[in-house]
A and B are shown apart, each in its own frame.
Chain A
């Protein structure tokens, strides 16, 4: 394979990273404050999406760069997800960015984040995975601290330091994996594990738990979640909305890749161990996230704890590995796709509301349905979807992922689902309490308002997606299942 053919394989990532450079160049060349950076960003995203579609249509698959990179439907599924999330955040934050004198940097950083995450999901080698993951993380530290105001800077520093610790744990884990198996490529690790070296169980376990700590930081799983509430509250909300979906999706994507391909899927002596680990993390995250969310009065913190609890729900799909089918991983993918639409919808609605009322306190959302029916309705829809009430996408996602664990047929997994169902009831309390505040309580201020046009576009798009996937889930399910099939070891 020639060099260009190899670059062709990572085209979407290259486009996004190159696009970031173009945005920065445009900032230098064009007169200050005039350049249509948002449009340029969307153009780059469209190009990358086009390239990914081209890959999907021509069926481009297989390894490149000496097996460090792999192109498959699994990677493409997530690349689409990242591009969609980035595009939505780009459109939604156009008004917010105008107040910032760093708009070119902001868009360029978003593109770099999307590009490095696209590379991450194509990664098939520990070294590439580490580099891509850290590139993503670095960009996100900068983004969180972007406004350089007190709270934003504090959040950025907190995020940076806990992220650095997580990266340290992860590289330590990689070292264990490499030291035990003698390979950095996931295929190499897989063939070692499949050969059944049971004597290597302890170092392998140490390795994957440390790796999971690093990934768990991205996914915001307990006990690696510490940063989430503080950063959610302190960081600029548009950036947090991106972080809450894209970073989480990236963490789960690479966990799926490493644990399914690298640690040999469901067939090896070690798979029961790591399935159980994810089960423990799932229970801890759901319990902790939901219980802590109950007492929050700041909406950003509430969403932060809610995202921890949701990560727990998603991790059930990883714990359900012993089904031996694609049900678990496709459940994770389907859940993430719906979560992107739902959580972005909720976040954007909160941004649009709070920009007008100047508060993130839940009490200030009283009577919102009369002040801005559209925003309140969409926020409510997203809350219903987060709770998992039909006919929303969140309902199907929960059913799907619970079903994957039940199908596996092991007792501890059924206990896990029972815990998840009880947690859903608990989460209904705080999600629906917010909905109740918006509908029932009297507004303190009767002034009505509407979101800006760009915000309306993404909000309606998110709402339509939530409803559509709730009513017609089959296409997305089959896309996730086909993508998950390529995850099995070749």
Chain B
């Protein structure tokens, strides 16, 4: 638009800049002679991601100039073994340009924030190494033009998330959370992989995403293939985006450093599932209606389920985690309802204000050394900047006019209103709950009396009364308030048309409009939620304890996270896997796997001993073995070619 079109090489540079930073830090850590110091790691990471950010802006500018349509860079051959061909390339269209912008902006601010939050941590360099790797993988994921390329980065993102959640691996909770996150998302990935193999076999080796979408849109894939593929992709997306029933890893993942949550578990990786569904939107649309309806209902159910858990959680980060699951549920619901623009728009605004809120929780933790809201309170005066930015983020998330969250949530509810009134009702109730739990957090954390904090080993030392965080942490938060407030206004400025540029003409149907019923009800829900929270937690009429007692079993259920963890771990893992499947698998393992893997290995050790005895070190043996070998080989050839007598 303003600049000349971005050349392909520069898009690759967006990807390679963090890769270089990762490689240099990795070398610096392993090769002591380089004289690499920890502070170099953060500088290098910030420089690299800053470069990526500038280039991502250029890419976004180019994409706007192209009205969001694909820039059409030809893919490059990566590997070719006759009929098996693997291409890698970059896709530049509205969707990828927007995602590159989101990923680089949030990542850049989170890196700056991390220099304050991780200051003095023993693994400072390792932390930035992993952050570089994560940013690289996430960028590779969003710019991939081939499904295989996307999948590789999808797995890389999962791996780095695992390493970062378990960053403080000496804490058992962190190690367990990392494992849980990895296994649960891998469970979804397993179905994603099946979808990948399915599309590969059914299309004869087409991995190009645009081509797959075109095939689906032209009805060249059978319904069975479409259902299998879309459900497989959805299962992968549900794992990454923490949708029911694979949602329960995300709250535990809060054991990782808070900036990691702010980047990975609010703005980027968890949004990758929604991005994946959006990438394959033409294919999803082409699938039978039951599939999309299922997706929409799972999203809506996740939204309300997570919101109810958010209301009763006492850990500030976990409230935010539930809120993230709930908002992702909104986006998935929108995809299922055909609301492509609404889903991406909400992803876009949510990335900024949720990242802001996570940084706010990290800032609070920095001051009080706890994440437990029951030990906070009254931080308004001690931490005015954190308070102000947290309020703005919460208002935006609650959907208060005219902040960013209002516009994107309104689009979502509008789609629901037009397609399914029941889902619209659910969505509006969730909006009420969202406002309620966010302001519950605010009143518990920033109002009332300070309730003491706690000495917890979180990797850095803070003592004494709470104080405002260093500037390296507050400045990114202040910067993030700008998109949290203003970016909703793009709704008025052709955002929908731009983002639909990536879709084929036939399924573009976005028109910006408003509906007074939807508008009024969602605004009412937001203010209602805030008001209710104020009544309970500020005025204390009714008292929260009374409310909890009145809700009775519901409260217990929600506080117990609906026992999904217990069902998943105790029920499914222990009973089904260990007792039932376990026995079969163990038997299978003993007989077959032992026979093949261990058996060849351990059993072969015995043969190995014999083989070693053959290696006696005697020359005569070696030479006669050669001679004998010649004779044997000659005989074998004639026997194998089967007609010794003929000649």
Taking Cβ atoms with an 8 Å cutoff, the residues of A that contact B are: 158, 161-162, 165-166, 169, 201-202, 205-206, 209-210, 212-213, 217, 222-224, 226-227, 229-230, 272-273, 276-277, 280-281, 288, 290-295, 325, 327, 373-374, 377, 396, 399-400, 403, 407, 422, 425-426, 429, 450, 456, 472-474, 477
Contacts and interface: CB of A to CB of B under 8 A. Distances in A.
23 contacts: A158-B619, A162-B619, A162-B623, A169-B626, A205-B634, A206-B634, A209-B634, A212-B633, A223-B626, A224-B629, A226-B615, A277-B636, A280-B637, A292-B615, A295-B612, A396-B79, A399-B81, A403-B84, A422-B596, A429-B601, A456-B33, A473-B78, A474-B78
Given A399-B81, A425-B597, A230 B633 contact: no
A450 B619 contact: no
A209 B608 contact: no
A113 to B, nearest CB: 22
B605 interface: yes
B81 A403 contact: yes
A273 B641 contact: yes
Given A273-B641, A292-B611, A295-B612, A226 B633 contact: no
B617 interface: yes
Contacts of A217: 626
Nearest to A288: B611
A477 B637 CA distance: 32
A327 B623 contact: no
B637 A205 contact: yes
A369 to B, nearest CB: 10
Interface string B452-467: 0000000000000000
A474 B80 contact: yes
B204 interface: no
A294 B601 CA distance: 7
A276 B641 contact: yes
A201 B647 contact: yes
B54 interface: no
B622 A291 contact: no
Given A273-B641, A291-B608, A210 B630 contact: yes
Interface in B590-625: 596-597, 600-601, 604-605, 607-609, 611-612, 615, 617, 619, 621-623, 625
Given A226-B621, A226-B623, A450-B32, 7 more contacts: A166-B626, A223-B626, A293-B608, A399-B81, A429-B597, A473-B78, A477-B79
Nearest to B29: A373
B9 interface: no
Contacts of A205: 634, 637-638
Contacts of A472: 78
A224 B633 CA distance: 12
Contacts of B627: 165, 169
Interface string B20-43: 000000000111110000000000
A422 B599 CA distance: 12
Given A205-B637, A206-B634, A280-B636, A223 B604 contact: no
Contact of B77 (A294, A407, A474): A474
Which 8 pairs show the lowest CB-CB distances between chains A and B? A226-B622, A223-B629, A295-B608, A429-B601, A292-B611, A165-B623, A294-B608, A291-B604
Given A201-B647, A223-B625, A227-B622, A280 B615 contact: no
Nearest to B604: A291
A162 B80 contact: no
B539 interface: no
A226 B600 contact: no
A46 to B, nearest CB: 27
Contacts, number: 123
Contacts of A202: 647
A422 B601 CA distance: 11
A226 B628 CA distance: 12
Most buried by B among A205, A209, A327, A373: A209
B626 to A, nearest CB: 5
A327 B81 CA distance: 9
Contacts of A206: 634
B637 A273 contact: yes
Most buried by A among B637, B640, B647: B637
B82 interface: yes
Interface string B410-445: 000000000000000000000000000000000000
B640 A276 contact: yes
- For chain A, what secondary structure do more than half of its interface residues adopt (helix, strand, loop), or is it mixed? helix
Interface residues of B, number: 44
Contacts of B637: 205, 209, 273, 276-277, 280
Nearest to B636: A280
A425 B597 CA distance: 7
Contacts of B622: 158, 162, 226-227
A429 B626 CA distance: 29
Contacts of A229: 615
A426 B33 CA distance: 37
A426 B603 CA distance: 11
Contacts of A477: 79-80
A426 B601 contact: yes
B100 to A, nearest CB: 22
A305 to B, nearest CB: 9
A280 B633 contact: yes
B221 to A, nearest CB: 27
Contacts of A227: 622
B621 A425 contact: no
B604 to A, nearest CB: 5
A295 B30 contact: no
Most buried by A among B601, B617, B632, B636: B601
Given A327-B82, A473-B79, A213 B626 contact: yes
B634 A292 contact: no
Contacts of B625: 223, 226
Contact of B607 (A201, A209, A223, A291): A291
B633 A209 contact: yes
A407 B634 CA distance: 27
Contacts of A273: 637, 641
Given A158-B619, A226-B621, A295-B608, A373 B630 contact: no
Nearest to A221: B629
A271 B409 CA distance: 71
Contacts of B596: 422, 425
Interface in B24-76: 29-33
A312 to B, nearest CB: 14
Nearest to A290: B604
B81 A400 contact: yes
A150 to B, nearest CB: 14
A396 B626 CA distance: 32
A210 B630 CA distance: 6
A230 B621 CA distance: 13
Given A223-B626, A226-B625, A272 B641 contact: yes
Nearest to A404: B81
A213 B629 contact: yes
Contacts of B608: 291-295
B542 to A, nearest CB: 57
Nearest to B78: A474
Nearest to B625: A223
A224 B629 CA distance: 7
A276 B639 CA distance: 11
Contact of A374 (B31, B79, B600): B31
B556 to A, nearest CB: 43
B626 A226 contact: yes
A317 B90 CA distance: 35
Contacts of A230: 615, 617
Contacts of A407: 81-82
B32 A169 contact: no
Nearest to B611: A292
A430 B80 CA distance: 31
Nearest to A154: B617
Contacts of A169: 626-627, 630
A154 B80 CA distance: 47
A108 to B, nearest CB: 29
